[in-house]
Amino acid sequence: MDQSRIYSVRMRASENELHKNGGRHISGGELLSSYSELGLSVNTLLEKALHHSRGKPDFLQIQCEMVNQPIKLLNPLTVQTNDVTAVKEGHELAKSLLEKTGVPKDIIKKAYKEIPEYPVRGAILIDIHTGKRVDGRIDKGVRVSKMDWQTRNFKKWAKSKAVSPNQRLKEALILATKVCNHQLTIAELCWSDDPDYITGYVASEKIGYQRITQLKQYGDDRGCRIFFVDTFSDIHTYINYLEEQPILVQWGEEHDTRVD
């Protein structure tokens, strides 16, 4: 990618009402693009919005913005796939993985109880000491932005790790890698809001990206994205990192560890 002029390209699509007024979320997308590839990049996100299992959008927005900050390079989290035979088993595993990352058991229990109350399109932030939601974004949540992974490097990584070069895995792993790179993130818990996708994950710097093959039933369009965070005074700096710090995931085969 020509590093001299990099653009953050973002897409969001919804139905029923204007997205900003709380219409039903259909799809979102993020990438970083050089100036010369901007047309191609916009088209990639347009295609994603137009062909989505959550439906056809009646509101669709694609925004391009030049990135002025230096781009931080991050090695992807290590990935492991855990096969489970039922959703219940998937959630038992997710809870025990969250505990391993350092999220207290009672906070996990509280978060799980409140998940149905969080039908937001972005991520919600939960304090691991109080179990309280701390993002203050009500129905929107926080949208992690300005991130990408170049296709060639991603494919090389996927081949070397013998994982299928699946676009969803790519997008989720980019996001989890960015989120978990911040020291205040203890863990992320996520499953898709797409009715045709039931694999989710728990991720953290400590345990890597742990895929769990069933975290909901097919046909269910309720998703979840929670970041468990350590108490801190300046939540704005943390949210600013999630929304504004540009990052590029780049796998370095020769030293397969995380680098900043």
Does residue number 210 form part of the binding site for ligand PML (CB under 6 A)? no
- Residue placing its CB nearer to Mg ion in the complex, 89 or 194: 194
Q: What is the DSSP string of 138-151?
A: TTT-B---SEEE-H
Name the segment binding Mg ion (CB under 5 A); options: 9-17, 112-120, 130-138, 186-194: 186-194
Does residue number 201 form part of the binding site for ligand PML (CB under 6 A)? yes
Residues near ligand PML (CB under 6 A), total = 12
**DSSP reduced 3-state for 205:** coil
- Residue placing its CB nearer to Mg ion in the complex, 52 or 110: 52
Does residue number 76 form part of the binding site for ligand PML (CB under 6 A)? no
**From ligand PML, Mg ion, none, interface partner of 112 (C-beta below 5 to 8 A by class):** none
> By CB under 6 A, what part of segment 150-189 binds ligand PML?
168-169, 172
Q: Which two tokens stand for residue 63?
A: 């925004």
Q: Which two tokens stand for residue 122?
A: 């972005």
For the chain, give percent helix, strand, coil, nearest 5.
30, 30, 40
Which strand ranges, in their side-by-side order, compose the sheet holding 72-74? 72-74, 247-249, 147-149
Does residue number 194 form part of the binding site for Mg ion (CB under 5 A)? yes
- Residue placing its CB nearer to ligand PML in the complex, 133 or 216: 216
CA distances from 104 to 172, 186, 194 (A): 24, 11, 29
**DSSP reduced 3-state for 98:** helix
Kindly tell me which residue out of 7, 193, 198, 248 binds Mg ion, with binding defined by CB under 5 A: 193
Q: 16: exposed, middle or buried (C-beta count within 10 Å: 0-12, 13-18, 19+)?
A: middle
Positions in the binding site for Mg ion (CB under 5 A) = 193-194
Positions in the binding site for ligand PML (CB under 6 A) = 168-169, 172, 190, 192, 194, 197, 199-201, 211, 223
